[in-house]
Amino acid sequence: AEYGKQWYQRRVREWVNVSGGVGRVGITDHAQAALGDIVYVDLPDVDAEFDVGEEVSSVESVKAVGDVALPVSGIVKAVNDALSDTPTLVNQSAEDGGWICEIELTDTSELDDLMDKAAYDAFLESE
Partner 1 sequence: MACGVGIGRRPHVILSNLRCVYQNLSLENWLLQNWNFARSDCLLVYRNKPCVVIGRFQNPWREVNVAEAREKGIDIARRVSGGGTVYHDLGNVNFSFFTDKPSHCPAKNLTFLADTLNQWADLGLKTNKRHDMSIEEAKVTGSASRIIRTGSFHHCTLLVTSSLSSLSSVLQGDPYITTSIATASVPSPVTNLASHSRDVILTPGHVISHVTSSYLARYDVHFPEPELPWKPEQDTAGDVMVVDALPESVDEPEHKTWDWVFGRTPKFTRSFGAGMEVMVDKGVVVEVSDRRLEEVIGTPFDQTTIQQML
Positions in the binding site for partner 1 (CB under 8 A): 39-40, 42, 53, 58, 60-67, 69, 84-85
Nearer to partner 1, 2 or 85 (CB): 85
Q: How far is the CB of 94 from partner 1 (least distance, A)?
A: 17
* Spatial CA neighbour of 66 closest among 101, 31, 97: 31
- Give whichever of 19 and 92 is closer to partner 1, judged by the CB atom: 92
Nearer to partner 1, 22 or 61 (CB): 61
Min dist. Cβ of residue 55 to partner 1 (A): 8
Residues in the chain: 127
Three-state DSSP state, 74:
strand
CB of 70 to partner 1, least distance (A): 12
User: Phi and psi dihedrals of 70, rounded to 5?
Assistant: -75, 130
Rounded Cα distance between 88 and 108, Å, is 30
- Pick the closer one to partner 1 by CB: 3 or 40: 40
For residue 124, give the 3-state DSSP assignment.
helix
